[in-house]
Amino acid sequence: MNRKDAHEIVKSIRKMSNYVRFVAVINSKGKVIAYERRIGHKGLLNTKSTQNQFSHLAVKTGMSAKFDRQLGKVQFMWEEREKVQTISFTINKNTVWLSIDKNVIRSEVLRIIDNCLPIVKRFI
């Protein structure tokens, strides 16, 4: 994926909801291609922890692909944590990862997911 496409994805997703804290496109090595953070919000992870999170995500995405033939491709992964919710989408070997405020109701998270899917699918 080129940087222009990655920036287009990030901007499209970031502007769809004020509940989206952070959006990034991460390559298969865990390196950030493009990202955008909501203005006025500080990240929950320091730089090293962010790098580790993205490396972990790249490994998890690669491992999940091993089951695609039997189970089908992953559409998205949604994690609820104590401080934040995260959603990731796979685009070939890349991952779109976003964090959402913790206190957002599930129906709003599902609306965000439903709005992200067409954006992501344009780049598959």
Determine the topology of domain 3-121 in CATH: Beta-Lactamase (3.30.450)
Radius of gyration over every alpha carbon of the chain, rounded to an integer in angstroms = 14
Per-residue H/E/C for 55-100: HHHHHHHHHHHCCHHHHCCCCCEEEECCCEEEEEEEECCEEEEEEE
Taking only the tens place, the pLDDT of each residue in 49-105 is 888 888 888 888 888 888 988 999 888 999 999 999 999 999 988 999 999 999 999
Residue 52 near residue 81, CB atoms below 8 Å: no
Q: Give φ, ψ of 69 to 5 degrees.
A: -65, -40
- The span from the CA of 43 to the CA of 119, in Å, is 24
Section 11-38 average pLDDT? 94
Under the banding of pLDDT at 50, 70 and 90, the label for residue 111 is very high
Q: Is residue 21's pLDDT more than 80?
A: yes
